[in-house]
């Protein structure tokens, strides 16, 4: 448990550090290097278009990241007026926590609260993912993967221009790291260039991981399931996939796709249901 609590603090700091490094490389290295082409007009230059795209992706990723943290799943234990002397019971999911057995709930020991429609505990946000912040979490994963892949393309263009190499061969990217390590220790490669090459593989890994996690999460939403229910083998009531999507994204899903906003409509719907 101590290791998990330490990871719950280190992982968000690691993500923020990677985000800061990515932003600095994009703004102060990759984008200025694109202005070297004098044949393009200032209005439609690749640098300005790429900069606008990167800022859009970054703003949505960080905006939804903040909303995931702020819109924490509600602590249902507070509504039950649970004190220190509350009875400890066995929950339907097999865990032990204070309070009464409620449907579609789970007690997270890291957060020390009972959350509605618990999916999993995200260490990179230091928060549980449940009914209130599921949509923002999916948007966070989506835009993080797009921002990483965008940085990967910009970094490859920068390395290609700086080292005068081509990535036309599919094996060029796979052999880039071992060749760069040998050149770095021989003194033929600068430390800044080696750092950018290492960041390329980091962006590739984070981008693919977030994209795969987002696709898997969407598949579970279409089925009306959560990761916790699948892991515990819990049976869920079959519903149409449109209702499952609306429960998470709400009717105004397009607004949440373009800008980071809270799913207020879904919260109001749940309050009416109570």
Nearest CA to 214 out of 117, 126, 149 is that of 149
With vertex at residue 78, the alpha carbon angle to CA 75 and CA 79, rounded to the nearest 5 degrees, is 100
Q: Are strands 127-129 and 113-116 parallel, antiparallel or unpaired?
A: unpaired
What are the angstrom distances between the C-alpha of 81 and each of 24, 76, 212, 257, 270?
Answer: 48, 9, 40, 37, 20
Q: Are 227 and 119 a contacting pair, CB within 8 Å? A: yes
Q: Are 224 and 236 a contacting pair, CB within 8 Å? A: yes
| Residues paired with 120 in a beta bridge | 129
Would you call 148 a catalytic residue per the annotation? no
Rounded CA gap, 50 and 106, in Å? 43
Q: Are 206 and 144 a contacting pair, CB within 8 Å? A: yes
Q: Are 129 and 65 a contacting pair, CB within 8 Å? A: no
Residue of 17, 108, 111, 122 marked catalytic: 122
Positions annotated as catalytic residues are 122
């Amino acid at each position: 448990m101590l290791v998990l609590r330490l990871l719950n603090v280190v992982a968000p700091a690691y993500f923020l550090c990677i985000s800061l490094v990515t932003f600095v490389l994009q703004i102060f290295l990759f984008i200025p290097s694109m202005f070297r082409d004098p044949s393009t007009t200032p209005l439609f230059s690749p640098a300005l278009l790429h900069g606008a795209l990167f800022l859009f992706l970054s703003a949505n990723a960080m905006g939804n990241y903040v909303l995931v943290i702020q819109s924490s799943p509600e602590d249902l234990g507070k509504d039950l007026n649970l004190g220190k002397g509350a009875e400890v019971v066995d929950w339907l999911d097999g865990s032990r926590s204070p309070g009464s057995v409620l449907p579609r709930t789970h007690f997270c020991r890291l957060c020390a609260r009972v959350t509605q429609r618990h999916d999993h505990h995200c260490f990179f946000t230091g928060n549980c993912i449940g009914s209130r912040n599921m949509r923002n979490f999916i948007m966070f994963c989506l835009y993080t993967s797009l921002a990483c892949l965008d940085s990967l393309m910009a970094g490859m263009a920068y390395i290609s221009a700086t080292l005068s190499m081509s990535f036309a061969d599919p094996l060029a990217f796979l052999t880039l790291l071992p060749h760069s390590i040998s050149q770095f220790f021989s003194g033929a490669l600068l430390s800044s260039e080696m750092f950018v090459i290492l960041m390329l593989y980091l962006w590739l890994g984070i981008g693919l991981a977030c994209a795969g996690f987002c696709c898997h999460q969407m598949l579970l939403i279409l089925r009306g399931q959560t990761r916790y229910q699948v892991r515990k083998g819990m049976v869920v009531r079959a519903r149409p996939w449109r209702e499952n999507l609306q429960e998470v994204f709400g009717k105004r899903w397009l607004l949440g796709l373009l800008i980071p906003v809270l799913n207020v409509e879904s919260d109001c719907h749940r309050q009416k249901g109570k």
